[in-house]
Amino acid sequence: TYSVCVCLLGLISLSVTLDNGLLKTPPMGWMAWERFRCDVDCRDDPENCISEGLFRDMADRLVEDGWKELGYEYVIIDDCWMSMLRDKQGRLQPEPSRFPSGIDKLARYIHDHGLKLGIYADMGTHTCMGFPGTTLEKIEIDAQTFASWGVDYLKFDGCYSNPVDQMLGYPLMSKALNATGRPMAYSCSWPAYLGGLPPYVNYSLLGEICHLWRNYYDIQDSWDSVLGIVDWFFNNQDELQPAAGPGRWNDPDMLIIGNFGLSVDQARSQMALWAMMAAPLIMSNDLRNMDNSARAILQNRVAIAINQDPMGIQGRRLLQEKSHIEVYWRPLSNSASALVFLSRRTDMPYLYHTSLAKLNYEAGNYEAYDVFMGSMVKRLNATTDFTISVNPSGVVMWYIYPEQSKKTATIHQHHKEASQFHKAKPEHHNVL
């Protein structure tokens, strides 16, 4: 089967490319699944069931609470939106009791807010929760249906399908989306169903047909789940990191910040590590009920800017120390970079000693901005040892740039921006 699939892929890849100019930086927005799952009980739980009201509410919050201006622009419907029956023309249709206005009208509401609408389908016989699937012969009509509704983003899952159908179906959907003439972002779950790694996953092909792809298991609302995902991605960074770039992103799944499972430190850690991975920043939480600490983390302008860096190079893990401190690095535009120091400890804040030279930085003087503390770090020479305090399951995140580069206008702008960030109210103090 594997050799047959590879041959099929070779034929398909000659004719399919998805280059509609979208997602040159990772997508940002909100998705229903992790927080609201498949709650279809609109009689007893009208505020939280999967319905047009929920998505209108989230669109309102994205605009009114400052999310949209930071780049959070997609409102994405996940599983369980469909009627159990297609219409007489064979088209998918929303469940009328929960989406009485139809998806096209919901899309207009989203667009009128300056936002974009995402939707979910599955290339098997059924979706993961048992709703109608998009089998091979239905791909074209479903792509046309989504385009006619004004959809801007498709998440295409793979439950109840097989490897051969996946090999055919994911490229065919890419071709069908292109053929509609409507620019749509295309999120593929394909690698997650094949183990996520070569030789079973061809990341060169994926980059031609999809804008982003789920590589690994679904995230759950727990720190253990976050760590499991982080470990898998960075343990396999040699295969995964080169696959990412503008218009083609690895997707470690949703941001669960603002729910129930993470402490404030753990929430900062997820935000920092997703920014380092150049991951989609797709929240799954209740934007109507969010505490200030979660909001401050998700709306941290510097963490977002690091995530959205236009070079689009995914970061790497540099070190795993015996002390259970880990160091992550990501190169950024204009000679800048980001460093994250993560504590895997569970006891107390740990004093970590190092220097930029030990982390492969070239000789010279640097300036750094502490992303979550909201202040500049004193001048750093590459060879000068420094000490930081990292909380258990927490991070210290720095945005760093060479001091001498301020002679150029572009880097001076980085320094100017960092100086503006410096005026922000510090959240906590990490640097000793």
**H or E element in which residue 194 lies:** none
**H or E element in which residue 257 lies:** none
Kindly report each contact of residues 6-13 with a partner whose C-beta sits within 8 Å and lies 24 or more positions away, as own/partner: 8/164, 8/167, 8/168, 9/167, 9/171, 9/202, 9/205, 12/167, 12/168, 12/171, 12/172, 13/171, 13/205, 13/208, 13/209
Q: Which residue carries 């995402």 as its tokens?
A: 118
Q: Which residues are part of the catalytic machinery?
A: 157, 218
The runs of H, that is alpha helices, within 90-211 are 103-112, 139-149, 163-179, 203-209
- The answer to whether residues 398 and 336 touch, using CB atoms and an 8 Å cutoff, is no
Q: How far apart are CA 413 and CA 390, in angstroms?
A: 29
- The answer to whether residues 404 and 410 touch, using CB atoms and an 8 Å cutoff, is no
Name the 3-class secondary structure at 152: coil
Q: How far apart are CA 170 and CA 184, in angstroms?
A: 14
Q: How far apart are CA 97 and CA 51, in angstroms?
A: 8
- The answer to whether residues 59 and 110 touch, using CB atoms and an 8 Å cutoff, is yes
Q: How far apart are CA 181 and CA 234, in angstroms?
A: 37
Give the count of beta carbons closer than 10 Å to the beta carbon of residue 376: 17
User: Which two three-digit tokens encode residue 431?
Assistant: 């640097």
User: Which two three-digit tokens encode residue 394?
Assistant: 């927490």
DSSP state of 255: B
> 191-219: string of b/e by CB count within 10 Å (b at 16+)?
bbbbebeeeebbbebbbbbbbbbbbbeeb
Q: How far apart are CA 424 and CA 422, in angstroms?
A: 5
Q: How far apart are CA 300 and CA 69, in angstroms?
A: 12
Q: Which residue carries 């159990």 as its tokens?
A: 84
Residue 214 backbone zone (phi > 0: left; psi -120 to 50: alpha; other: beta): beta
